[in-house]
Amino acid sequence: MVAYTNYLQDNRVRRYAEALAKRGDAVDVIALGDSGAGKPTKLSHGITLYEVQRRDFNESGKWSYASRHLRFLAKSSLLLTRLHSQRHYDLIHIHNMPDFLVFSAWYPKIKGSALILDIHDMVPELFADKFRSIFTSLYLRTLRAIEKLSVRFVDHVIISNHLWQDKLVSRSVSWNKCSVFVNHVDSGIFTSHPRTRGDARYIVIFPGSLQWHQGLDIGIESFAKFKNHVPQAEFHLYGIGHSTVESHLHELAARLHIEDSVIFHPPEPLNRIAEIIANADLGIVPKRADSFGNEAYSTKIMEFMSQGVPVVASRTKIDTFYFKEGEVHFFTSGDSTAMAAAMLDVAQNQDLRKSLIARGYEYVQRNGWDQNRQRYLTLVDSLSSRHRHGHPARIPRVLNNHPSTPNERTVMSTTLPLMHTAGDEGLASIRNKVNQAIDDLMASLPDVNNITSEERRGIIARYSAVLEGNFIYWMTATLVATQADDAKPILLDNLLEECRDSHPHMLRKFYLAAHACPTDRDTYAVDDGLTKVRLFLGRLSAVQSLATMSFFEGFIQKFMPYLAKLAALEGSREMEYTDVHGVCDIAHTDGLFRALDAEMEINPLAPGQDVFEGVYLLRSLMEQVILTLSRAAA
């Protein structure tokens, strides 16, 4: 791994490295550190750390900032070239900032290593915010050009939240080359620590970089108002930032006469910061919504939750995308009076405090690194295997937690197994991999008894929004594309049964009886994935379409009992739809695989086309349907 960061203090980089090392992979990390000497240091789990440069936070402008990045690029490139000559890396995982750090791996790339670019922060947006007074359109265009070149240089891109994925896909990368891994809290580091402090102080805490977009001046102003009501309160900040920002924060605390209660600490290693958080009473995230912070995911929120510390956070676009009121306590961004009131709510209302703590624990259990580690390992294995066996760099779609509106979140995710182009696959192999994909998706379904009534309703409603009015179109498009005479009757029989028995009417009776009529929110939640499937099938690629529909019919057959349980728990007894499709889709699935076999004989895919491309899309859509748990009723 290559990262312009202090490895021991960076939760995201450590999480990846330790996940790989714990399963037995050899992991080297090139990063910043106190020594800057570049000598190897052995860490736990067999990880080797090379600290090639010190990190200072006294950049006077964008060019001094860039010069340090360039110096790190040169040092890491030289070291990486030497290390690769000795041990030949299968994969290099490079973390931004900067994006151009990927070019440090030029030599391993030439020699066949796979490359991942992990975008922690969107560089053009961050620099525009950080150096706003001297930023120019030319500089912005340059950074975006570098972003595009960097993305093209690597085999896969990881992005740290879904808002940024949408932005990155719109300008620099194809959607199937980009996966989302938010800053999931790692239970291996943030285990639940006991509270060891017994004094009467009320500790408010902020661990993180002291940057303008973090809104810490707003936090200090709010704390001054809060302290008028809670005189024993102290505000502890753990982090470092630009000297100008730090000086301003110190001056602000002195001007408000609370300098003795606002205590600045240097950054602490992750293992230590978890213990410190556990001894706090309140965690705050006062980011500015009119800045880069509006779309920058707050790692701190899940870290607070993991230690049983309630969270007060500003209402930013990103945090309302992933969290809802009641999991954290929101206030209007930029309003110090509203923030102080929210802090006081938590301090004085014990029922609210207990509820925030309990729901925070639940959120971490659903969304922590333990639930996402295997996605990352599968991605690494897919890329490494491709390069070891000489396949093209394009890899199968790795499905993401992708809420489609700000009021939804996905709580689980899975990945498809490694798949190849049609020229590498026979029918048996295709069928086995499709079945494995179906089984993996079924295994990831949330327990019907552990989700709320509204969440059960949401799954039924989103499923209905996808199926009603679309399935017949999908099957018709597949029929139009198909050329094999032996395949067409199979598709016609399927459509005949669908129309003759009025399966859309069965579906409508089913969701109405379960009180799960799709709302606008349900429709928007699946719109992105549904559009991609429609457009894909509209390309009229017969083999790909048949593989896609084979996957879907096979999945529906296994999904029907689960769907019926959801409806039953919502008080419905109308089960004609699930009863019929749990039986008829067995024959439909078998027939579609026969049609696929016939079509492949006379109309094979062109070299390089992926037989599973539509499967990835439809699998992603089904994940939006099933694994996106609704935040609240519309």
Specify the long-range contacts of residues 22-28, CB closer than 8 Å, at least 24 apart: 23/377, 26/87, 27/1, 28/1, 28/83, 28/89
Query: What's residue 248's pLDDT?
Result: 94
C-alpha distances (whole Å) from 132 to each of 135, 139, 247, 592, 609 are 5, 11, 19, 57, 45
Q: Is 571 left (phi over 0), alpha (psi -120 to 50) or beta?
A: left
Q: What is the mean pLDDT of each run of 10 residues along the chain (634 residues)?
A: 90 92 94 83 92 72 76 95 93 94 96 94 82 66 92 94 85 82 86 91 94 93 97 95 87 96 91 93 94 87 96 94 91 96 97 96 86 83 66 36 35 35 63 86 86 92 94 95 93 90 93 93 86 91 94 91 94 90 70 91 80 89 77 34
CA gap 593, 614 in Å, rounded: 15
Based on the structure, what is the number of domains in the chain? 3
573 in the same domain as 527: yes
CATH code, domain carrying 468: 1.20.910.10
Query: What's residue 628's pLDDT?
Result: 65
Last residue of a domain, one of 180, 213, 230: 180
Q: Which of 317, 372, 328, 371 lies closest to 352, judged by CA? A: 328
Query: What's residue 353's pLDDT?
Result: 97
According to DSSP, the residues that pair with 312 across neighbouring strands are 284, 329
Question: Side chain identity at 529, as an amino acid letter?
Answer: G
612 in the same domain as 533: yes
CA gap 317, 294 in Å, rounded: 5
Query: What's residue 586's pLDDT?
Result: 65
Please say whether the beta carbons of 73 and 101 come within 8 A: yes
Angle, CA 111 vertex, CA 109 and CA 112 arms, to 5°: 65
338 in the same domain as 301: yes
Residue 331: strand, helix, or coil: strand
In a domain, 579, yes or no: yes
For residue 67, how many other CB atoms are within 10 A of its CB?
12
In a domain, 29, yes or no: yes
Please say whether the beta carbons of 227 and 258 come within 8 A: yes
Last residue of a domain, one of 320, 349, 367: 367
Last residue of a domain, one of 367, 395, 421: 367
What does DSSP say about strands 202-207 and 329-331: parallel, antiparallel, or unpaired? Answer: unpaired
In terms of residue numbers, what domain contains 308? Answer: 202-367
Is this prediction's pTM over 0.85?
A: no
For residue 486, how many other CB atoms are within 10 A of its CB?
14
CA gap 46, 52 in Å, rounded: 19
CATH code, domain carrying 82: 3.40.50.2000
In a domain, 249, yes or no: yes
Helix runs in 444-574, H state only: 453-467, 471-481, 488-500, 503-513, 520-537, 542-569
129 in the same domain as 80: yes
